[in-house]
Amino acid sequence: MVFITDDDVAHYSMQEETAKCAPTVEAADLRQVLEKETGSRWGPQHSGAKELASLYSTGKRRQEIACVISASALIAVNFYFIVFYFRRSNWMSIVLSAVGGITTADLASGLTHWAADSWGSVDMPVLGKVRV
């Protein structure tokens, strides 16, 4: 574990009046020293990122393309049904259904990503390399 003294913090910190400027060279140097001593925490040099990159195959890419095409086709079919069956008398239920669907999808996606960011790891059994 690396401990930084108060003098190090004061030396490598930006002054308040230059807070909107880019970080100083000293701050970048401190970041590099900390990453060397503690290991990279995120980014392409992280061991988990390297492992996931090695697992990204052409089959995975084909799967992603197939999913995007399928989702686009389903959206087009839904749009067709909305236009074909639209009646002025049921516009309120369409609006409420759309808002409810968007809200539910956003909540489910947010909870999934929060859980993956909080507890997910490449080392998890079963779901690690597949979902994270």
120 lies in some domain: yes
- The pLDDT value given to residue 38: 54
Look at residue 121 in the predicted model and tell me its pLDDT: 73
Domain tally, the chain: 2
3-class state of residue 128 by DSSP: helix
pLDDT higher than 60, residue 9: yes
Q: Is residue 101 part of a domain?
A: yes
Distances (CA, A) of 100 to 64, 105, 106, 112: 27, 9, 10, 18
Q: Is residue 16 part of a domain?
A: yes
In a domain, residue 126? The reply is yes
Q: Within a domain: residue 17?
A: yes
Q: What is the mean pLDDT of residues 6-29?
A: 58
What does the alpha-carbon distance between residue 126 and residue 13 come to, in Å, rounded to a whole number?
A: 43
Model confidence band, residue 69 (pLDDT cutoffs 50, 70, 90): very high
What is the mean pLDDT of the segment spanning 94-103? 94
d(CA 36, CA 50): 17
For residue 88, with 0-12 CB atoms within 10 Å meaning exposed, 13-18 middle and 19 or more buried, which class applies?
exposed
Q: Is 58 a member of any domain?
A: no
pLDDT at 126: 67
**C-alpha dihedral (66, 72, 75, 81), degrees to nearest 10:** -100
Greater confidence (7 vs 2) lies with: 7
Burial of 52 (0-12, 13-18, 19+ CB in 10 A): middle
List the domain range (segments joined by +) for residue 24. Answer: 6-38
In what helix (H) or strand (E) does residue 4 lie, and over which residues does it extend? none
Pairwise CA distance, residues 59 & 67, whole Å: 12
